[in-house]
Chains A and B, each alone.
Chain A
Amino acid sequence: MNGPELKALVSDWRVAALIILIFLSVVAIFPHIDQQGNMASNLQYGLDLQQGSWLQLEFRAEVVGFTSDRPVGEFIANLSEKLDTEVILVDATHLEIRKYYSQADLEPVFTAAGGKITTYQQGVSKATAEDVKRILENKINTLGTKDAKVNTLTGMNNIARYIRVELAGVDMKQAQDIMGKQGKFEIRVQTAGNESEHVLFGDAITSVQNPSQEPAGSDRWGVGFTLSEAGAAAFRNGAIKYGATTDPEKHNLVMLLDNNTVYSAPLSQDLAGKLQAENIRQLYASTGSGKAGTTQATNLEIHLRAGALPVDVSIAGSGGVSAPLGERYKTMALLAGIFALITVGLVIYFRYREPSIVLPMVLINASEIVILLGIISLIKFQLDLPTIAGLIAVVGTGIDQLVVITDEILHEGKVPSPNLYLKRLSRALGIIVVAAATVVIAMLPLALMDLSTLKGFAIITILGVLVGVLVTRPAYGKIIMQILSK
């Protein structure tokens, strides 16, 4: 191919698009040598290619659709008492029950309370799931674990059944310890200066409410929480004994998590007065107004729970990979990719025996992998083993379609006129589009499902097909025409 021909080829929009995409992909992948002198890139690896652990937790709670003729508040209070757990109104027709009951167990309770169950699904509302996510993230952060990911898996009906925690650089034993560890929460009353006396521990707190405004709409934030009978008595005794009821300003109420002060404020005059007379179970800790008040309230809620979750969870699944095994898998994946490209190249060579056809084919094939890796880097997708299987499948099937194009164009061994060429190319692309559509449709269910770890595999396969149909196959059609018409 001489200079002008090459120029004409490169300026063809299909070929130009391919070259630009390859260039952008290399920029996105950004292969470089890092400060330690190791090969590095923007590619992110999944947990099976680096040291790390994952835990998938299942909520022991359910979201129930209901109807009832009774006033909703009354109905919920009644249910909550009978079921001995918090019952929360998600929307006008759905309740979240924060304890696990089967539908059969719930039905008689609902009937007795004057209502009916319309739908039942294990899990929690999206809001609660987000709450749990925040608590877990907070817990992991305070323990100094970096690079942790917490994802709630929310279905289309806004009910989350699972939450997945991924901890890079942590082995399974450590991961279990982190997740199982409960902080030590304590309330003390200031006696003088820095001195304080113990009043109660976190086990006296029976429930913690979400941050709220008191009074409603005032932008004055705080968190309500409830003490057990014994806790309320201990709280009253402590407050009276250490002078918090008679001189609140001098005797702050101090809350500590793992011996760090997380909250310190005087009792309100109103509460101080009431405590003189009786045990109070329902308390409210104000945190101030505005954004600062909200943030503090959110944190305080987590602290009050001492890292405990508002809903019980059970471990649905877990796993972990060690650093050496992750490295080994990474090497194997790279080897498999290169090996696949070479064997495919050999098969093609065996068929056409013509380097000027085989070389562009293999290069186009490799360029698809580069573009896909570029997209993966750009969208910060994690490269894991199933995704790599998807990439290798792209090598195998991508070349199929190049074969279809080549054979259609080369039909009867003659190089066609430009007119006939276009007709044949469009016929080849017709075959390719149908084949591509079936692959996309076949992979779609897997790509849409949240549960499965094979999401990556499906997404890469679909992306691979799209990149092929939209960019690399048309470009190949142009390139092969140029080469053949020589």
Chain B
Amino acid sequence: MGMGLIKYDIEKYSPQQLVIIPLVLLVISIVLLAFTTINTGMPLTPGIDFSGGTAVTVITSDTPAQIKATFTDYPLIDISEGVNNGKFLKFSSMDDAKFRSLTTLITQKYPDAKIDQIGESFGKTLQYQAVIALIFSFIGMAIVIFISFRTFVPAGAVVLSAFADMVMTAATMNIVGIPLSLGTVAALLMLIGYSVDSDILLTNRVLKRQGKLNDKLTGAFKTGIIMTSTTLAATAALFIVSWFGSVQILMEISAVLLIGLVFDILNTWLTNAGILKWYVLKGGGK
């Protein structure tokens, strides 16, 4: 039995060596997000859910240039193309009359379209709620972790890993251009929940089992990496299908989860494992 693909040689490295890579990445991510915040006022580019505007999905063989020509009278800001002729159009906010005439045009020209329009003030309300949800969710997670471990360093390590997952994922979203939408906020919330389960397994194995530290770490890795791989497999399936099917909301949710899960592997087996190793070597957990 065994994967045998990835070798996890935790013995060779000191806690400092384990932690350094994710730490550097975390710092870069924070700097990147801070830089974006200074430039745009928000750490991530808001999608129309939060900034207001209209999103239209059409399945058409028309080229972007043709589409642009069709909507020349309207504030079209972006056209992106999926596979299978899926086209995603984005319009900035417009008044009611303009929007009604846009709907008429779309229903005439592309009767099979999907239209979503969010007003600016409604978008603000949604954004405010999303921020509240993220904060409460994170605090709630931290409370559960601290209650269940009741020791500061191991619990802190889990919370730090989850935090690093979120920040690195957000920074990557920034780089690859995934906007912050209701869907991606949900994905980030899910990461808060799911990124901690391999951390919990790791901490449990290391602190509550008998045996040599390195054996316990390797054993935990064997189980933990499979856990993350199954979730990765399910999300990858979702991503591929929604990409081929041009289902934007599922595409965004699964893309963020994929990014987050990759960082989760890094943060669980380097950040969290590194801190735990240091804690146990110092005599903690006895």
Contacts and interface: CB of A to CB of B under 8 A. Distances in A.
Given A325-B57, A336-B250, A435 B241 contact: no
B196 A438 contact: yes
A352 B1 contact: yes
B112 A343 contact: no
B85 to A, nearest CB: 11
Given A332-B242, A439-B194, A343 B132 contact: no
B233 A347 contact: yes
A452 B126 contact: yes
Interface in B85-116: 96, 100, 103-104, 106-107, 111-116
Contacts of B14: none
A343 B3 contact: no
B227 A404 contact: yes
A331 B242 CA distance: 10
Contacts of B182: 452-454
Name A's interface SS: helix
B23 interface: no
B261 to A, nearest CB: 9
A319 B117 contact: yes
B143 interface: yes
A183 interface: no
A46 to B, nearest CB: 12
A381 B185 CA distance: 22
Interface string B1-14: 10100000000000
A334 B189 CA distance: 24
A344 interface: yes
B196 A172 contact: no
A168 B166 CA distance: 37
B191 to A, nearest CB: 9
A258 interface: no
Given A441-B144, A457-B186, A461-B190, A336 B137 contact: no
Interface in B195-222: 196-197, 200-201, 204, 208, 219, 222
Contacts of B104: 173
B34 interface: no
A444 interface: yes
A396 interface: yes
A403 B193 contact: no
A449 B1 contact: no
B59 A343 contact: no
Nearest to B96: A315
A329 B247 contact: yes
Given A176-B103, A332-B247, A445-B133, A340 B238 contact: yes
Interface in A300-350: 314-325, 328-329, 331-333, 335-336, 339-340, 342-344, 346-348, 350
A325 B234 contact: no
A375 interface: no
B112 A451 contact: no
Contacts of A342: 237
Contacts of B137: 441-446
Nearest to A334: B241
A386 interface: yes
A268 B193 CA distance: 68
Q: Which of under 10, 10 to 19, 20 to 34, or 35 or more describes the interface residues of B?
A: 35 or more
Contacts of B244: 332
A458 B133 CA distance: 11
B279 interface: no
B168 interface: no
Contacts of B200: 431, 434-435, 438
Nearest to A399: B230
A407 interface: yes
Interface in B1-58: 1, 3, 57
A404 B219 CA distance: 11
A414 interface: no
A297 interface: no
Contact of B238 (A314, A352, A392, A449): A392
A317 B1 contact: no
Contacts of B151: none
Contact of B116 (A319, A401, A430, A444): A319
Contact of B233 (A396, A452, A454): A396
Of the candidates A332, A442, A451, the one having the most CB atoms from chain B within 10 angstroms of its own CB is: A442
A454 B252 CA distance: 13
Contacts of A323: 112
Given A344-B234, A385-B247, A397-B197, A446 B141 contact: no
Contacts of A438: 140-141, 144-145, 192-193, 196-197, 200
A48 interface: yes
Contacts of B233: 340, 343-344, 346-347, 396
Given A325-B113, A430-B204, A439 B119 contact: no
A368 to B, nearest CB: 12
B141 A441 contact: yes
B153 interface: no
B41 to A, nearest CB: 22
A393 interface: yes
The 5 closest A-B pairs by CB, nearest first: A396-B234, A332-B245, A439-B193, A441-B140, A316-B122
Given A438-B141, A441-B143, A452-B129, 6 more contacts: A319-B116, A331-B245, A333-B250, A340-B238, A399-B230, A434-B148
Interface of A: 48, 56, 58, 161-162, 171-173, 176, 314-325, 328-329, 331-333, 335-336, 339-340, 342-344, 346-348, 350-353, 385-386, 388-389, 392-393, 395-397, 399-401, 403-404, 407, 411, 413, 427, 430-431, 434-435, 437-446, 449, 451-454, 457-458, 461
16 contacts: A171-B111, A176-B103, A322-B112, A332-B242, A332-B250, A336-B241, A339-B237, A388-B250, A392-B235, A392-B237, A397-B194, A434-B148, A439-B190, A443-B189, A449-B129, A451-B126
